[in-house]
Amino acid sequence: MLSSKFIHAFTRQIYHTNLITSATFNVIKKHNSTHTKNDLVLVDVNDKTGFSIVTLNRPPVNSLNLELLSAFSSVLDDLHKNNSRGMILTSSSSTVFSAGLDINELYKPDMDRVRKFWTSLQDCWIKLYGSSFPTAAAINGHAPAGGCLFAMCCEYRVMLPKYTIGLNETQLGIVAPTWFMATMKNTIPLRQAELALTLGKMFKTDDALKLGLIDEIAENKEDAIHKCEIFLKKYQKIPQTARALTKQSYRKNDIMELENNREADLQLFFLAISDPRVQSSLGKYVAFLKLKSRMKPILEAVKFLKGIFKSKKKKN
Ligand SMILES: CCCCCCCC/C=C\CC(=O)SCCNC(=O)CCNC(=O)[C@H](O)C(C)(C)COP(=O)(O)OP(=O)(O)OC[C@H]1O[C@@H](n2cnc3c(N)ncnc32)[C@H](O)[C@@H]1OP(=O)(O)O
């Protein structure tokens, strides 16, 4: 049985698709340009295709903090209102799609802010996973945890070589929420999802392709976006309402599970991050990330020197 909320959403969707399509699309076309939401999320509507390239833009690693999530949530609303033809999600970083949740939001949190933070994350997931418009991710860098989640919410994923993607929460001593798990179960085979989740496994691009976690490998960002466009174009011949309702029916159980239990999920989150063991794990992880970042120039110098020694050895 469909809940009244879901039927309402469907009715809205039908209304949107049938009545507002052409009028709104023209508005998008007229205003074809790059829009900004506090510069944290850039939106570029392609005049010819009507596809929006949505770029996460929070250097250095697009970690998802309250401001970025709020901006993203509002962009998703805009795309829905404007009856977008399709969205391509990507990143302005040259090496990171998104580093997942901003650990600083979770470590020693301010309770008022962290409530808004988690609620915004829930909003983004519901809107992206259940979007009426088709979505694809051009994964132009590493995509751990929340980065992998947003990529998996999209219906198609194209990734650049030699990066990593996965839900690594258990490695950090935290449990991925059930809706993170549901998104992975909707993406890769059930048994592989269980193994990936319990191990907190990060997959290299090649392995992610074999597993079905991504759909294609691209040479560079431009190629990734092009491949996403080819995917989205396939829907141009499919009636919009039929496509959207099929996607939403497919995902509705997962979405309703969270919709109906948002407060309980929030309380569970509070409970988890109030656990001293979780805080201790997060504290160590923050310190590790900072140390790793500071060691980078030294590690790069060592790599450089090793290269010189190797080429000298070869010459001799
Ligand atoms: C309801 C049930 C209970 C639920 C409980 C909570 C559930 C939480 C669910 C999800 C959790 C998450 O999403 S946690 C985030 C997990 N993310 C990661 O593990 C990724 C960590 N980052 C990296 O591995 C790397 O940074 C990178 C591979 C993404 C990029 O590497 P690169 O070498 O390019 O960059 P640096 O490592 O040098 O980092 C640069 C800079 O960024 C800071 N940084 C990195 N990641 C994060 C992050 N996730 N949050 C905050 N800050 C981050 C890093 O510390 C460096 O900062 P400084 O230069 O200032 O030191």
Complex ipTM value: 0.97
Q: Is the model's pLDDT at 11 over the cut of 90?
A: no
Q: Which residue, 135, 146, 124, 133, is CA-closest to 89?
A: 135
- Known catalytic residue: 168? yes
Q: What is the average pLDDT across 102-118?
A: 97
Going from the Cα of 134 to the center of ligand 1, the distance in angstroms, rounded, reads 28
- For the chain, the average pLDDT equals 89
Going from the Cα of 106 to the center of ligand 1, the distance in angstroms, rounded, reads 11
Q: Contact at 8 Å (CB) between 316 and 308?
A: no
Residue of 50, 100, 141, 146 marked catalytic:
146
Q: Which atom of ligand 1 is nearest to the CA of 95?
A: 34
CA distance 152 to 128: 10
Say what the alpha-carbon torsion angle 128, 129, 133, 139 is, to the nearest 10 degrees: 70
Ligand 1 neighbourhood includes 20 CB (under 6 angstroms): no
Q: Please, which pLDDT band fits residue 37 given cuts at 50, 70 and 90?
A: low
**Above pLDDT 70, what percent of the chain?**
88
Ligand 1 neighbourhood includes 160 CB (under 6 angstroms): no
Ligand 1 neighbourhood includes 293 CB (under 6 angstroms): yes
Q: Contact at 8 Å (CB) between 120 and 73?
A: yes
| Beta-sheet strands, E only, within 163-259 | 164-166, 203-204, 216-217
- Highest mean pLDDT: which range of 8-12, 23-27, 162-166, 309-313: 162-166
Q: What is the average pLDDT across 203-214?
A: 98
Q: What is the pLDDT of residues 153-175, one digit of tens each?
A: 999 999 999 999 999 999 998 99
Q: Contact at 8 Å (CB) between 251 and 168?
A: no
- Known catalytic residue: 38? no
Pairwise pLDDT comparison (316 vs 183), residue with the higher score: 183
Q: The whole model's pTM is what?
A: 0.89
Burial class for 243, CB neighbours closer than 10 Å (0-12, 13-18, 19+)? middle
